[in-house]
Amino acid sequence: MSYDALLSPFRLKHLTLRNRVMMTAHVTNMAPLHVPSDQHVAYYRDRARGGIGLIVMGFPSVHPAGTNNVQEIAGYDPRVVPGLRAIADAVHEHDTPIIAQLGHAGRQGNSAYTMLPLMAPSAIPCPLNREMPKAMEPEDLDEVVEGHATTAAHVREAGLDGVEIHSAYGGYLLSSFLSPYMNERDDEYGGDLEGRMRLPLRVVRAVRERVGPDYIVGMQINGSDFSPGGVDLPEAQVIAQRLIATGALDYLVVKGSTYFVAHQNVHDWQNPRALWLGLAAGIKEAVGDFPVFAVGRINDPVEANAVIERGQADMVAMTRQHIADPETVRKLIEGRPEDVRGCISCNQGCLDMLPKGRHITCVHNPAAGYEAELGLGTLRRAEAAKDVVVVGGGPAGMKVAETAARRGHRVRLLERRDRLGGQVRLASNVPGRHEVGEVVRYLETQVRKLGIDVRCDVEATADGDDLEGADVVVVATGSRPVRRLIGVRSHQLEDVDGLELSHVHTSWDLLEGGIEPTHDVIVVDDGEGSWKALSIASHLARSGHAVQLVTPLPFVAASLGPYSIGPYMQTVFELGIVTHPFSIVRRVTESAVELTKEGRPVTLEHAGSVVLCGWHEPVADLYFDLKARGATVLRVGDAVAARTILHAVHEGERAARAI
Ligand X SMILES: Cc1cc2nc3c(=O)[nH]c(=O)nc-3n(C[C@H](O)[C@H](O)[C@H](O)COP(=O)(O)O)c2cc1C
Query: Any idea which residues carry the catalytic annotation?
Result: 172
The H or E element containing residue 120 is strand 119-120
Residue 213 identity: P
Can residue 18 be called a binding residue for ligand X (CB under 6 A)?
no
Give the contacts of 192 (CB within 8 A, at least 6 positions apart). none
Nearer Cβ to ligand SF4, position 217 or 318?
318
Site size for ligand X, by CB under 6 A? 26
| Smallest gap from residue 101 Cβ to ligand X (A) | 6
Q: What is the DSSP letter of 61?
A: B
Coil, strand or helix at 339: helix
Show the beta-strand stretches assigned E in 383-471: 387-391, 410-414, 453-455
| Cα 623 to Cα 320: distance, rounded to the nearest angstrom | 36
293 belongs to the binding site for ligand X (CB under 6 A): no
Residue 537: name its binding partner from ligand SF4, ligand X, none (Cβ under 5 to 8 Å by kind).
Answer: none
* Minimum distance of ligand SF4 from residue 341's CB (angstroms): 8
CA distance 538 to 38: 44
What's the angle, vertex CA 325, arms to CA 74 and CA 310, rounded to 5? 95
Residue 93 beta carbon to ligand SF4: minimum distance, rounded to whole angstroms: 24
DSSP 452-472: -EEE-S----SSSSTTTT-SE
Q: Which of ligand X, ligand SF4, none does residue 362 bind (CB under 5 to 8 Å by kind)? A: ligand SF4
String of DSSP letters for 523-560? EEE-S--SHHHHHHHHHHHHTT-EEEEE-SSSSTTTTS
Judged by beta carbon distances under 5 to 8 A according to partner kind, the member of ligand X, ligand SF4, none in contact with residue 24 is ligand X
Instruction: By CB under 6 A, tell whether 101 contacts ligand X.
Output: yes
CB of 316: closest distance to ligand SF4 in angstroms? Answer: 16
- Single out the residue of 220, 237, 348, 551 in contact with ligand X (rule: CB under 6 A): 220
Q: Least distance in Å: CB of 376 to ligand X?
A: 20
Give the range of 77-85, 243-251, 348-356, 435-443 binding ligand X by CB under 6 A. 348-356
| Residue least distant from ligand X (Cβ) | 58
- Closest CB to ligand SF4 among 217 and 440? 440
Could you tell me the smallest distance in angstroms from the CB atom of residue 343 to ligand SF4? 3
Report the alpha-carbon distance of residue 33 to residue 35 in Å, rounded.
5
Binding segment (CB under 6 A) for ligand X, from list 173-181, 292-300, 376-384, 618-626 = 292-300
Nearest distance, CB of residue 655 and ligand SF4, angstroms: 20
| Residue number, 37 or 345, with CB nearest to ligand SF4 | 345
Comparison of 362 and 424: residue with beta carbon closer to ligand X = 362
Measured from the CB atom, the residue of 240 and 344 that comes closer to ligand SF4 is: 344
Pick what 58 binds: ligand SF4, ligand X, none; C-beta below 5 to 8 Å, kind-dependent: ligand X
SS (H, E, C) 247-264: CCCCEEEEEECCHHHHHH
Beta bridge partners of 218: 164, 251
Residue 106, CA distances (Å) to 63, 71, 124, 189 in order? 10, 17, 11, 15
Whole-number minimum distance, CB 349 to ligand SF4, in Å? 3
Question: C-beta of 371: minimal distance to ligand X in Å?
Answer: 15
Residue 504 interacts with, from ligand X, ligand SF4, none (CB under 5-8 Å by kind)? none
Helix segments in 71-137, DSSP class H: 81-92, 111-114
- List contacts with ligand SF4 (CB under 6 A): 320, 323-324, 343-350, 362-364
Find all residues with CB under 8 Å of 195, minimum gap 6, and list them. Answer: 185, 187, 188, 189
In the sheet that holds 472-475, the strands lie side by side as 453-455, 410-414, 387-391, 472-475, 633-635
DSSP H or E run through 612? strand 609-613
- Give yes or no for residue 24 binding ligand X (CB under 6 A): yes
Residue 307 site contact among ligand SF4, ligand X, none (CB < 5 to 8 Å, cut-off depends on kind): none
Residue 295 near ligand X by CB under 6 A: yes
Single out the residue of 166, 412, 586, 616 in contact with ligand X (rule: CB under 6 A). Answer: 166
Supply the DSSP symbol for 491.
G
342 near ligand X, rule: CB under 6 A: no
Is there a contact between 518 and 503 (Cβ–Cβ < 8 Å)?
Answer: yes
Residues 108, 319, 506, 564: which binds ligand X (CB under 6 A)? 319
Which pairing describes strands 504-506 and 609-613: parallel, antiparallel, or unpaired? parallel
Q: Minimal CB distance to ligand SF4: which residue? A: 349
30 binds, among ligand SF4, ligand X, none (CB under 5 to 8 A by kind): none
Burial 304-315 (b: 16+ CB within 10 A, else e): bbbbbeeebbbb
Find which of ligand SF4, ligand X, none residue 346 binds, CB within 5 to 8 Å per kind: ligand SF4
Binding site for ligand X (CB under 6 A): 24-27, 58-59, 101, 103, 166, 168, 220, 255, 266, 295-297, 299, 317-321, 350-351, 354, 360
